[in-house]
Structure 1
Amino acid sequence: MDWDLYDAVLFDLDGVVTPTADVHKHAWEAMFTAFLTARSAADGVAYAPYTEQDYFDFVDGKPRYDGVRDFLASRGITLPEGEPDDPPTAQTVCGLGNRKNDAFNQILASEGVTAYPGSVALIQQLHERGKPMAVVSSSRNAPAVLAAAGLTDYFGLIMHGGLAEELGLPGKPAPDTFTHAAEQLGATNARSVVLEDAINGVAAGHAGAFGLVIGVDRGAGVEALTAAGADVVVQDLDELVADEPATDEGAGA
């Protein structure tokens, strides 16, 4: 991996830097399972239960409310859009999204977060080389997660779901948030690397014609990530950490 070919490195957060994708998975599962159970009873319809595959197909990598909307559509369910400040009890798209977010924050507060060691090693090495880096996440929780992991100071920009909304940028799989991050770091798409574990994130990197799109397989699958546009797929970011040249003392030992 020749990092000198690129001017900026753009990291997704959940599943790439931190294992919080698992926390998101559990929060989505708890919320949708409870919702479908109640909805089935109310409608007299046996809706198909929520599965882990639904996470990858409809939710992973997307802004929160987009994930709610797309999953509900997969079950033929339509709810009012609501407003972002809807209470978690509201039977709206925003209400369900906020209910999931409450579950996520409860798990994060009780369990904390520790970044993947391989990801930390790569981030520290790139930092030492002076490589500009940004986090590009659909999650509004990205700043809190990075702070909990102790990694905030490594990144020149944290592009999260809330900031994207303020800027009027569409979320992944559109490439706009990645493009904005690259521009803020003084780089072009063609000279930037995207690291993503989500199908939608990889698709965003491919759609934006970024110089290199690296898929991180945390469960989506090598074939799916490659089909979405990943140029290369790794299991962990430690595979991208460059070997440091041996010292003269070490070479002669």
Structure 2
Amino acid sequence: MTQETITPGSTPDWRSVGAVLFDLDGVLTPTAEVHMVAWGEMFNAFLATVDDEGADTSEYTDADYFAHVDGKPRYDGVRDFLASRGIELPEGSADDDADEVTVRGLGNRKNLAFNEVLERDGVEPYPGSVLLLDHLAEIGVPLAVVSSSANAPAVLAAAGIADRFGVVVDGKVAATDGLPGKPAPDTYLAGAERLGVPSSQAVVVEDAVSGVRAGAAGDFAEVIGVDRGVGLETLRENGATLVCSDLAELVPGGPA
């Protein structure tokens, strides 16, 4: 499809769509902000301990998040960020303690921080996302969540929207089924398959570059990019066929 930005009258014809597959963090809930804080605290504390003249130990920033971490499975994000700084660590194992200085230990350390913030502060879904979910439920479009996060069920429950989705493909499901994470299309393809809908009849909704690339690689009918900070042009360049700033813009008759 040609790329376009939402304008009055350009919302998708949802009644012709077989299914809609949503990313979670940054699309349905503002938990991306919680993730960003947790990643920043974890990486900056770790960088302060690195004693390697060849490594770049300058401060971890939001730019690092968007370039190396956003939308990816947790351990992939750790691995990619460390590589960008010239830091090598043992891989470790998924059950490493959070104080282990391994790729998976750092990932587990970040996960603890995220869960602490989620339990303390809770999370509310984006109002515009709820409007779109309401519209899709009204016309009977099957829905799925496809998230790299292993915390997706807990986030959906905390946000009060877990019952909206017939299928959830999260980080745990991907690990169990041996599915490569975004930007590979496999988790989105698995979501469509579990809903019984061909990818060519399904729509992907994403805010991360890795997720948009995953949708673009999967022969989906549409890949909708939601700009929560990455940038409209960046989403387009990586395969979004339609871009918006809030999902309320995608509701017929809603704000443009």
TM-score bin, normalised by smaller chain: over 0.9
1:43 maps onto 2:30 in alignment: no
Cα distance in 2 between the residues matched to 1:43 and 1:119: 45
SS at 1:9 equivalent: strand
1:92 deviates by 0.3
- What is the 5 A alignment of 1:1-253? 1-39=12-50, 42-44=51-53, 47-243=57-253
Given residue 40 of structure 2, which amino acid in structure 1 is its aligned partner?
E
CA displacement, residues 146-168 of structure 1 (integer Å, 9 cap, x when unaligned): 00001011100111001011011
Cα distance in 2 between the residues matched to 1:56 and 1:97: 17
1:46 deviates by 5.5
Determine which structure has more spread, i.e. the larger CA radius of gyration: 1
Cα distance in 2 between the residues matched to 1:152 and 1:109: 17
Cα distance in 2 between the residues matched to 1:196 and 1:162: 19
Cα distance in 1 between the residues matched to 2:105 and 2:158: 26
Cα distance in 2 between the residues matched to 1:242 and 1:153: 23
Given residue 31 of structure 2, which amino acid in structure 1 is its aligned partner?
T
> Number of residue pairs matched?
242
Cα distance in 2 between the residues matched to 1:180 and 1:106: 30
1:43 deviates by 2.8
Unaligned stretches of 5+ residues in structure 1? 245-253
SS at 1:233 equivalent: strand
Cα distance in 1 between the residues matched to 2:144 and 2:42: 30
1:224 deviates by 0.5
SS at 1:38 equivalent: coil
Cα distance in 1 between the residues matched to 2:246 and 2:56: 39
Are the aligned partners of 2:182 and 2:211 in contact in 1 as well (CA < 8 Å)? Answer: yes
1:143 deviates by 0.3
Are the aligned partners of 2:91 and 2:102 in contact in 1 as well (CA < 8 Å)? Answer: yes
SS at 1:214 equivalent: strand
Task: Among all aligned residue pairs of Structure 1 and Structure 2, give the percentage whose two residues are the same amino acid.
Answer: 60
SS at 1:135 equivalent: strand
Cα distance in 1 between the residues matched to 2:84 and 2:63: 12
1:216 deviates by 0.2
Cα distance in 2 between the residues matched to 1:24 and 1:96: 14
Greater share of residues in helix:
1
Higher relative contact order (CA 8 A, sep 6+): 2
Given residue 43 of structure 1, which amino acid in structure 2 is its aligned partner?
D
Are the aligned partners of 2:56 and 2:86 in contact in 1 as well (CA < 8 Å)? Answer: no
**Deviation above 3 Å: which 4+ runs of structure 1?**
none
SS at 1:4 equivalent: helix
Cα distance in 2 between the residues matched to 1:97 and 1:5: 40
Cα distance in 2 between the residues matched to 1:80 and 1:68: 12
Q: TM-score, normalised by structure 1?
A: 0.94
- The match for 1:249 is none
Cα distance in 2 between the residues matched to 1:21 and 1:118: 16
Cα distance in 2 between the residues matched to 1:88 and 1:132: 38
Are the aligned partners of 2:206 and 2:224 in contact in 1 as well (CA < 8 Å)? Answer: yes
